[in-house]
Structure 1
Amino acid sequence: MRALCATDLSAASEAAIENETCLDCLGRIGVETIHLVTVVPANVHSGMPGVNFEERRRRALDEYRAVIEAAGFDVETHVVRGTPYRRINGLAEAVHADLSVVGSRGQSPLDNRVVGSTARNLARTTVVPLLVNRIERATDDPEVLREHLFQRLLFATDFSENADRAFDACSYLHHATEEATLVHVRSRKDEGVDTDVDPREQLAEHASTLENWGVETRIEVRHGDPADEILAVEAEVTPSTILVGSKGRSRIRRLLLGSVSEELVAQATGNVFLVPPPRAV
């Protein structure tokens, strides 16, 4: 497997990329090659007086490379120019990455009102599974909030094709997973809808698959707003990562927020692993 790890060379990015436990988790799920990428903003030019961003970033990436190679991975580095989320997506396709990893300092009152962070833009547009690795806020020497990336999973499902695709990721994530909580939220739009299948039975089928892989599981059926209830379960069980499917992108979704997956990326305390639908060719 190939992972694309994006960094802005900040202290937060360093915490995410150089954490030994996080690297070990990536190795456990089958990652062998890591592509390190940093994006130079399009409005920064190498000819600016006293500025050589490309060279400075290459030197910084070489330092990261040494740490990651020492952990047993093959490493390739990339310094590109442009809009971060677009260049990250483009490179993920170019190198045939199996997942992308981006650090995020998480929510703040301002972040919840203003859209623009790389993590939230990637949540809308990612072309491969995306791990949003949560980093401590408001500190000069930040640490990752959940070192064991996939040790405790919270899988949120509405039993859609998108959710089933996200669950398929457990075929490799389970190698680093010990516990899993499976949750389905019945919202108002589900009221009055007849179904022959009890959601607990559907969750139990997923639980059986995980238990066959040696993962201890529990199931939860909640009622209310899906994002709110999933976040409530996260607060109760403190998973390493929330696993959720995305409905993908469209022209209007590039402009509007509101999907459950994007709300989780914006507001979750821990990590979020977002699985998009296959990209149309």
Structure 2
Amino acid sequence: MRAVYATDLSEAIETAIGTRTCLECLGRYGIDTIDLVTVTSPNVTAGMPGSDVGKRTEAALERQRDLLEREGFAVETHVMRGTPHRRINGLADRVDANLVIVGSRGQSPLEQRLIGGTARNVARTSVRPLLVQRIVERDDDHEVADEHLFQRILYATDFSENAEHAFEQFDRLQTATKEALLVHVAPPKRRAGSGGVDDAEERLTDLGDDLRSRGIETTTQVREGVATDEILAAEAEFEPTTILLGARGKSPMRRLLLGSVSEDVTARANSNVLLVPPSRVR
């Protein structure tokens, strides 16, 4: 299986790429080949007299390539110019990637310093599973927020076709995942004993039984309230390493709009987020 790994060649991303546990988790997911890609501004001309931008870019990319190859991955490197999220998604389509990986630093609206300013746009427009990997800064140094990427999964579902498609990720996660919390958020003012809540609990139980049969310790919750708020509250209680979500199927124009639960959770969560687009989008 193949992953496109976006890098801005920063120390923060090099920390993620050099974290052995993270790379082992990608291997358990099934990734054995990585396309390492960096996208430069079309306004930067590496060939200008006296400029060493091109040499520095190639040197940094080769250093990160070496880190991945030491862990047994086959690696191809790509230096592209243009709009980053378009180049990243375009490469993922061209190599038929099974996963796209981008790094994210900071959770608050003022701290959303995403790779090249484009991780949110990648999340909005990707038609392939996207792993948003959290990188935090502590004591003037960087580290990944959760190095065991898939050990504890919080899966949020509204029982839609998109959510069902996201659940299929457990076919790849089952060797890496030890614990899972399955969450459904019911609209406010619905109480236990109502048909909708009872049905949700039964459906979550069926999904939980599926995961338990695969050896994954699983619990379920039906929560009530605003979907994004309740998913983030469940995250604070369960402390997952990754939140698994299905993205809504939208036209290319509507995917540029704000406000979806998946986008809000991706922007505000402290955990990694594995965002799965509908299969029909591809």
Change (3 A) 1:137 1:156: same
Q: Which residue of 1 aligns with 2:243?
A: 242
Q: Which residue of 2 aligns with 1:276?
A: 277
SS state at 2:144 partner: coil
Change (3 A) 1:6 1:190: farther
Distance in 1 between residues matched to 2:93 and 2:190, nearest whole Å: 37
Aligned-residue CA RMSD in angstroms?
2.3
Q: Which residue of 2 aligns with 1:122?
A: 122
Q: Which residue of 1 aligns with 2:203?
A: 202
Residue identity in the other structure for 1:274: L
Distance in 1 between residues matched to 2:139 and 2:251, nearest whole Å: 36
Identity %: 56
Q: Which residue of 1 aligns with 2:229?
A: 228
Q: What is the Cα deviation at residue 54 of structure 1?
A: 3.2
User: Does the 8 Å CA contact 2:32/2:74 hold for their aligned counterparts?
Assistant: yes
User: Does the 8 Å CA contact 2:105/2:111 hold for their aligned counterparts?
Assistant: no
Q: What is the Cα deviation at residue 119 of structure 1?
A: 1.5
User: Does the 8 Å CA contact 2:4/2:37 hold for their aligned counterparts?
Assistant: yes
Change (3 A) 1:258 1:19: same
- Equivalent residues in 2 for 1:165-184, closer than 5 Å: 165-184=165-184
Q: Which residue of 2 aligns with 1:22?
A: 22
Q: What is the Cα deviation at residue 164 of structure 1?
A: 0.3
Q: Which moved more, 1:182-191 or 1:164-173?
A: 182-191
Distance in 1 between residues matched to 2:65 and 2:184, nearest whole Å: 40
Q: What is the Cα deviation at residue 66 of structure 1?
A: 1.3
Q: Which residue of 1 aligns with 2:56?
A: 56
Q: Which residue of 1 aligns with 2:164?
A: 164
User: Does the 8 Å CA contact 1:125/1:248 hold for their aligned counterparts?
Assistant: no
Change (3 A) 1:255 1:69: closer
For structure 1, the residue ranges without an aligned partner over 5 or more in a row are: none
For structure 2, the residue ranges without an aligned partner over 5 or more in a row are: none
SS state at 2:132 partner: strand
SS state at 1:8 partner: coil
Q: What is the Cα deviation at residue 190 of structure 1?
A: 7.9
User: Does the 8 Å CA contact 2:243/2:273 hold for their aligned counterparts?
Assistant: yes
Q: What is the Cα deviation at residue 216 of structure 1?
A: 0.1
| 1:63-98 alpha-carbon deviations (Å, 9 max, x no partner) | 111111111111111111111111000000011100
User: Does the 8 Å CA contact 2:97/2:128 hold for their aligned counterparts?
Assistant: yes
SS state at 2:218 partner: strand
| 1:168-202 alpha-carbon deviations (Å, 9 max, x no partner) | 011001110000000000124989x9659611111
Change (3 A) 1:276 1:190: farther
Q: What is the Cα deviation at residue 107 of structure 1?
A: 1.4
Residue identity in the other structure for 2:257: L
Residue identity in the other structure for 1:235: A
Change (3 A) 1:274 1:222: same
Q: Which moved more, 1:163-172 or 1:51-60?
A: 51-60
| Residue 147 of structure 1 pairs with residue 147 of structure 2 | yes
Distance in 1 between residues matched to 2:18 and 2:47, nearest whole Å: 31
Q: Which residue of 1 aligns with 2:88?
A: 88
Using structure 1 for the length normalisation, give the TM-score: 0.92
Change (3 A) 1:255 1:190: farther
Count of residues paired in the alignment: 279
Using structure 2 for the length normalisation, give the TM-score: 0.92
User: Does the 8 Å CA contact 2:156/2:184 hold for their aligned counterparts?
Assistant: yes
Residue identity in the other structure for 2:85: Y
Distance in 2 between residues matched to 1:254 and 1:215, nearest whole Å: 33
Distance in 2 between residues matched to 1:215 and 1:269, nearest whole Å: 23
**Where do 4+ consecutive residues of structure 1 move more than 6 Å?**
none
Q: What is the Cα deviation at residue 47 of structure 1?
A: 3.7
Change (3 A) 1:219 1:134: same
Q: Which residue of 2 aligns with 1:187?
A: 187
Q: Which moved more, 1:169-178 or 1:130-139?
A: 130-139
